[in-house]
Chain A
Amino acid sequence: MKILVCISKTPDTTAKIAFTDNNTKFAENGVQWIINPYDEWYALVRAIELKEKDPGTVIHLVTVGEADTEPIIRKALALGGDEAIRVNASGADSFFIASQIAEIARQGGYDLIFTGKETIDYNSAAVGGMIAELLQLPYISLAVKFDLEGSTVTATREIEGGEEIVQASLPLVVSCQKGMAEQRIPNMKGIMSARTKPLKVVEPVAVDPLTTIAGFETPPPKAGIKMIPADNPAELIRLLHEEAKLI
């Protein structure tokens, strides 16, 4: 069994979001970078659990990013995974990223490709579906549970107002969210071994991005809060009704 886990780098969840160069670039100064939480907590940890159950499993990590993504990928290797591949390109377009990962997947012959639900910076939830289409594979999006018996997959995916239990056969692509696994902290042994695990750098294949970022905007600050005395909560309902006209 060979699993490919897609790992992306995102600003820490507490990072201040600001822009420079006339609002065309994210202000990276002083920003801490982390593994996208969905990729780390759910996709990667579930892959590691599958390997713990079936030690014959091989886990490769892939990231599309420049050299500054390497600390992130080493951290992911410290959690688990056998080797990593970095496609040396900065990618802001989902189709460009998906095309690079699909190319790696074609060469590696993986049985299973895991992505996170979405990146917490671009929030597109698009890369997984695109990889699946490029490889003509089935796609289980927003999985909250995933089990494997031989090559038969049983998974639970979120649908509007509930969930669906589905069955499929390998190979396929899965996007992972909460429920798949629990967050783990890397241990010393993992951190030590991550230093010597292979991290292959490959050049991107030529693909034209379908979209480009023209600029950013931060939302205007709130106008100010209206406080309502605790001894008259009904006043809040009156304001919501008469002033805000929402109820």
Chain B
Amino acid sequence: MSVLIFIDHSDGAVKKASLEAISYGAKIAEQLGLTAEGALLGNLNEDIASLGKYGVKKIYHVADVALDHPDPQVFTEVIAQIAEKSGAKLIVFSNNLHGKAIAPRVSARLKAGLVAGAVALPDTSNGFIVKKNVFSGKAFAFISINTDIKIISLNPNAYPVAVTEGAAAEVVPFTAAVGEPRIKVTAVNKVTGEIPLGEAEIVVSGGRGLKGPENWNILEDLAAALGAATACSRPVADADWRPHHEHVGQTGLAIAPNLYIAIGISGAIQHLAGVNRSKVIAVINKDPEAPFFKAADYGIVGDAFEIVPKLTEAVKALKG
């Protein structure tokens, strides 16, 4: 019997969020005395067996390149077949965009209870209870999964990637009989070289206080110096100063980086809902009464246009 982990990748590399899911799944397997196994659909540019160092013992690999664009319906079919072969008691996904598209389908297919957005290891001392993020970051819920097979989608940045002593994983080629995807991908527009916001450990974010898109260079310079992703408040995305996928908050993306630096953002409750799971929050705002200071760990009251370039200089000096 196994904990089966869905190994998600793009451009030939396993995503960081998926490495977190592998580490998490391997830990649960150890807790429950099950084997950690992986399901890899499509191909990697790296050695698959080496994923064993994250604790996964065996990887079912479906090499069919048509699987490089994950079609949720086709993937569900394949994962259901692998789950059966592997004797999966628990299936782990990352709660990233692919996970959100696929895990619910697998749940409905296998009648396996799903907790989407898990933030901690399950409590198996009395049943099977998973802590998840609810009310857009304002609270947590403990969800009991009542079915024999269980599914967890782990939030990105909620569990650290852990490298174990583990030997190389056994790679088992798997052929799955699947239909043609009924959704045809006709084009892909990807911003390459950018750190995906959902996975970023440091995020530098700007609000209306920056006055206009032409001023974003000061924020981008700081982000570049820190190796951070950039984000923004909703009015900034609504005004098309920044792309929509940078909008964080209750109605945008919810993120949980280690460090969130908010510049010229007032800290409205709907904004906080998307960022208050950040481990540390630093706020730069010229208004000492800005509500964001109440949710922050570090604060500077002052003009962003003066302060941010100095922060960038200090980071550069630090990093040599």
Size category of the A interface is 35 or more
Q: Shortest Cβ distance from B97 into chain A, in angstroms?
A: 5
Task: Find out whether the CB atom of A210 lies under 8 angstroms from the CB atom of B196.
Answer: no
The 12 listed contacts between A and B (C-beta, < 8 Å) are A14-B269, A94-B116, A124-B116, A126-B104, A138-B73, A160-B10, A161-B190, A210-B111, A215-B141, A229-B300, A234-B311, A241-B318
CB atoms of A130 and B315 under 8 A apart: no
- Pair A168/B184 contact, Cβ less than 8 Å: yes
A121 in contact with B134 given A165-B187, A166-B185 (CB within 8 Å): yes
Do the beta carbons of A123 and B254 come within 8 Å of each other?
Answer: yes
| Per-position 1/0 for B176-200, Cβ under 8 A of A | 0000001111111111101010110
Chain A interface mostly: mixed
Interface centre among A125, A169, A210, A246 (most CB of B within 10 A): A210
Residues of B within 8 A of A120 (CB): 135-136, 250-251, 273
Residues of B within 8 A of A17 (CB): 135, 138-139
Cβ contact within 8 Å between B202 and A246: yes
Decide: A225 near B298, CB < 8 A? Known: A123-B134, A159-B97.
yes
Give A68-125 interface residues, CB cut-off 8 Å to B: 93-95, 98, 120-125
Task: State the CA gap A17–B141 with chains docked (Å).
Answer: 12
**B-side contacts of A93, CB under 8 Å:** 113
Top 4 A-B pairs, shortest CB-CB distance:
A129-B104, A230-B302, A210-B113, A162-B190
Query: What chain B residues lie within 8 Å of A129 (beta carbons)?
Result: 72, 100-105, 107-108
Interface locus among A43-51, A139-147, A187-195:
A139-147
Interface residues of B in 94-146 (CB under 8 A from A): 96-98, 100-109, 111-117, 129, 131-136, 138-146
Q: How far is the CB of B279 from chain A (nearest CB, A)?
A: 8
Contact indicator B311/A211 (Cβ below 8 Å):
no
- Per-residue CB contact flags for chain B residues 260-282 toward chain A (1 = under 8 Å, else 0) read 00000000011001001101101
Are A133 and B100 closer than 8 Å at their CB atoms?
A: no
A13 interface residue (CB < 8 Å to B) = yes
Q: Which residues of chain A come closer than 8 Å to B107, judged between CB atoms?
A: 94-95, 126, 129-130, 133, 210
Stretch at the interface among A56-64, A198-206, A216-224: A216-224
Neighbouring B residues of A169 by C-beta, 8 Å: 182
Evaluate contact between B183 and A38: CB separation under 8 angstroms: no
Interface pair A123/B109, CB less than 8 Å apart: no
Contact of A130 among B104, B299, B306 (CB under 8 A): B104
Assembled-state Cα–Cα distance A129/B140 (Å):
23
A14 to B301, CA, bound (A): 25
Stretch of B53-61, B84-92, B159-167, B289-297 on the interface side: B289-297
Query: Chain A residues near B182 (CB, 8 Å)?
Result: 138, 168-169, 172
**Which range holds the interface residue count of chain B?**
35 or more
List which A11-31 residues lie within 8 A (CB) of chain B: 11, 13-14, 17, 19
Given the known inter-chain contacts A17-B138, A222-B297, please indicate yes or no for A210 contacting B146, CB distance below 8 A.
Answer: yes
A67 in contact (CB, < 8 A)? no
Chain B: CB-nearest residue to A132:
B105
Complex contact B116–A126 (CB within 8 A): yes
Give Cα A138–Cα B105 distance, bound, in whole angstroms. Answer: 10
**A179 to B303 CA separation, bound complex (whole angstroms):** 32
Is B69's CB within 8 Å of the partner chain A? yes
Q: How far, in angstroms, from A240 to B111 measured CA to CA in the complex?
A: 46
What are the residues of chain B within 8 A of A125 when measuring CB–CB? 100, 104, 116
Residue with the greatest number of chain A CB neighbours at <10 A, chosen from B10, B100, B188:
B100
Shortest C-beta distance, A202 to chain B (Å), equals 21
Identify A225's interface contact among B69, B105, B187, B299, CB under 8 A: B299
Contact (Cβ within 8 A) A240 B188: no
Among residues of B, the one whose C-beta sits closest to the C-beta of A158 is B97
Cα distance, A244 to B311, chains bound together (Å): 16
Report the separation of the CA atoms of residues A129 and B116 in the bound assembly, to the nearest whole angstrom.
Answer: 12
- Given A138-B182, A236-B298, verify A121-B104 contact (CB < 8 Å): no
CB distance from B78 to the nearest CB of A (A): 14
CB distance from A132 to the nearest CB of B (A): 6
B175 near A: Cβ within 8 Å? no
The residue in chain B whose Cβ has the minimal distance to the Cβ of A210 is B113
Residues of A within 8 A of B142 (CB): 213-217
Task: Give the chain A neighbours of B201 by CB distance below 8 A.
Answer: 246
Chain B residues in 8 Å Cβ range of A161? 10, 190-192, 194, 196
Query: Is B258 an interface residue, CB under 8 A from the partner?
Result: yes
B188 CB contacts on chain A under 8 angstroms: 159, 162-165
Which chain B positions have C-beta within 8 A of A159? 10, 97-98, 188, 190
In the complex, what residues of A have CB within 8 A of residue B310's CB? 233-234
